[in-house]
Structure 1
């Protein structure tokens, strides 16, 4: 591995990483490697999306024209994963799964040395396309160790017939809440603001419908001050003076930018710990780009993430002095009949 030099190494197998890989392959950019820390691509979708969850091309109505070689349409969790499977199966892209990237170091003017848990990888360009949900935000107050088994950041350990508190006001929190309610759980969703500001129309409509039917309870304009262990139950102390016992508490309060990793790659961040990059997605570290979730200030669409890949590859080729047409499509993937 240390002897081979890649033209582009992509860190992260989400939509931004996949879009970059397909663009690079479509334009024959050279040797391509996709590195993913889990055992498959699209880990955020696999882990945090419930089965049959709707997956929109455009997030919260942000209509985006796809610019590159990947067409994408509204679907479900399952159809989206199948589509990305087909894309990656159809292109010549090397991959390394179950591999962590530790840092990126520029050793020469031409080469980046990418230090991974599986060894050293050399590349001319690198794309950081890691998600934020892999490192979820956690509350500022302490979670007592004795109840950590009952405090979750996804639905992995949930069952039915539990009294559950879902914390958050975004789409993930809403989907967790009404999905758990459908599994015969007693669900309360608590949000610190008086009104929702980040929900898509469908999720907000379902929440209010379920609240009206008393299938779940919305506790708005309320925050949590602390958690305690009360005979094996999670005692939640709210800022309105009330305390309630729950079997389980689930946090869905977003994810955090992995600042230390970005800095270890030579990427400068702003005052909000977001990576600084130009219109081509290139960061302050020469030939190191960002794509997908890591490049969004808040939520962003799959379509925008796919376009990141187009801009990155376009820029790499432009640096090489090549001109190409961005209207060409990957016939083997998008038009298999041809």
Structure 2
């Protein structure tokens, strides 16, 4: 355990975590620590965004006015990462990469953040991790011989492949039309007759691409099993048909890391989402959430950055209340 007591420990190095760190530094709230389980910040952008991919401030129609000290603009994967590098380089922020956080425990007036590298103490903590703990996987077995051709994200995808995307949510839609834009032959299969979870932008793009034959929508159909057929993925559907694909991508949802949230003292609702107030403070005192884990539909960098602004302002507001109370007590004890 380090002897240093931080004013805020931020768990997660994505846009929400970066927003918290920059706002905390700009407002000079004290000692700041950013913890990230990978070897660098913005891992999702680094890993899943193709080179030169556009990164929009207003993601999929989620228009947001930036409220804090980060001026974020439309750009590319590369310009966005460079910008975040510059922000973090210019501020006084401690960082700990390749570090897993196990739990947060309140000990009197401080929080103990238990990590793979030891325990750090802090007055406040912000959980800014993604909402997907682990992706949901199908109930049927995926043959080991074709596991390299079965994905749960866009990692390792290329172009000129025949690809099946399984799922009916926003992630599935975004995978499907992004792959179509990369000159792949894409089919998106969904077990229901209509989409019920898509935002308007994604549904509009899917419908447009389907009408233009840029991809195929296969509705009211489910996958029963996968087989290896001479190196191809043979997909057996519940309507009796079987089709060969180069690659299958599952986007059938995932789980909010409920166990981790509970280990931090954070209560979740009936949908396993963290419960928090308008300042993003959870049911665990001085523990906040920001970024995708605090969003109904993820992806908006601008909204995640704004979360950091609200969190830091609430910390400052609460400090003001403490100082005001202290001043009142002092005046009562010494009327002079």
Paired residue for 1:35?
Answer: 35
Equivalent in the alignment of 2:237: 238
Q: TM-score w.r.t. structure 1 length?
A: 0.85
- Structure 1 residue runs of 5 or longer lacking an equivalent are 324-338
Secondary structure at the counterpart of residue 81 of structure 2: helix
SS of aligned partner of 1:320: helix
TM-score for both structures, normalised by structure 2? 0.85
| Higher radius of gyration, 1 or 2 | 2
Q: Secondary structure at the match of 1:299?
A: coil
Decide whether aligned partners of structure 1 residues 199 and 47 sit closer, same or farther in structure 2, where only a CA change above 3 A counts: farther
Residue 310 of structure 2 corresponds to residue 305 of structure 1: no
Alignment of 1:15-34 (within 5 A): 15-34=15-34
Structure 2: unaligned runs, 5 residues or longer? 323-336
Contact 1:58 1:301 in 2 (8 A): yes
Q: Distance in 2 between matches of 1:69 and 1:27?
A: 9
Aligned runs of 1:134-283 on 2, under 5 Å?
135-170=134-169, 172-181=171-180, 183=182, 185-195=184-194, 198=198, 201=201, 204-205=204-205, 207=206, 211-212=210-211, 214-283=213-282
What RMSD in Å do the two structures reach over aligned CA positions? 2.6
Q: CA deviation at 1:76?
A: 2.4
- Report the alpha carbon displacement of residue 39 of structure 1 after superposing the two structures with TM: 1.0
TM-superposed CA distance for 1:262, in Å, is: 0.7
User: 2:325 corresponds to which residue?
Assistant: none
Q: Report the 3-state secondary structure (helix = DSSP H, G, I; strand = E; otherwise coil) of the residue aligned with 2:309.
A: helix
- 1:85-128 Cα distance to aligned partner (Å, 9 max, x none): 12111111111111111111112x22111111111111111100
4+ runs deviating over 6 angstroms: none
Q: Residues 1-12 of structure 1 correspond to what in structure 2 (within 5 A)?
A: 2-12=2-12
| Alignment length (residue pairs) | 321
